[in-house]
A and B are shown apart, each in its own frame.
Chain A
Amino acid sequence: DAGVIQSPRHEVTEMGQEVTLRCKPISGHNSLFWYRQTMMRGLELLIYFNNNVPIDDSGMPEDRFSAKMPNASFSTLKIQPSEPRDSAVYFCASSARESTDTQYFGPGTRLTVL
Chain B
Amino acid sequence: GENVEQHPSTLSVQEGDSAVIKCTYSDSASNYFPWYKQELGKGPQLIIDIRSNVGEKKDQRIAVTLNKTAKHFSLHITETQPEDSAVYFCAARSARQLTFGSGTQLTVLP
Alpha-carbon separation in the docked complex, A111 to B24 (Å): 31
CB of B25 within 8 Å of the partner chain: no
Is chain A's binding surface mostly helix, strand, loop or mixed? strand
| Cβ contact within 8 Å between A101 and B97 | no
Task: Tally A-B pairs: CB < 8 A.
Answer: 42
- Given that A101-B34, A105-B44 are known contacts, is A45 also in contact with B97, CB under 8 Å in the complex? yes
Q: How large is the interface on B (under 10, 10 to 19, 20 to 34, 35 or more residues)?
A: 20 to 34
Alpha-carbon separation in the docked complex, A103 to B46 (Å): 8
Per-residue CB proximity of A81-114 to B under 8 Å, as 1/0? 0000000000101000010011111111000000
- Given that A101-B34, A101-B49 are known contacts, is A43 also in contact with B43, CB under 8 Å in the complex? no
- Given that A43-B89, A48-B97 are known contacts, is A106 also in contact with B43, CB under 8 Å in the complex? yes
**Shortest distance from the beta carbon of B43 to any chain A beta carbon, whole Å:** 4
- Given that A42-B102, A101-B32 are known contacts, is A55 also in contact with B45, CB under 8 Å in the complex? no
A48: chain B residues at CB < 8 Å are 97
B36 closest partner in A (C-beta): A105
Per-residue CB proximity of B59-97 to A under 8 Å, as 1/0? 000000000000000000000000000000100010011
- Contact with B43, one of A42, A55, A56, A91 (Cβ below 8 angstroms): A91
| Cβ contact within 8 Å between B93 and A101 | yes
Alpha-carbon separation in the docked complex, A106 to B45 (Å): 9
7 A-B residue pairings within 8 Å (CB atoms): A45-B97, A56-B96, A101-B32, A101-B93, A105-B36, A107-B42, A108-B42
Mark B residues whose CB is within 8 Å of A. 32, 34, 36, 41-46, 49, 89, 93, 96-103
Contacts A56-B97, A105-B36, A107-B43 known; list 17 others, CB within 8 Å.
A4-B43, A42-B100, A42-B101, A43-B44, A43-B103, A45-B97, A45-B98, A45-B99, A91-B43, A101-B34, A101-B49, A101-B98, A102-B34, A102-B46, A104-B46, A105-B44, A106-B43
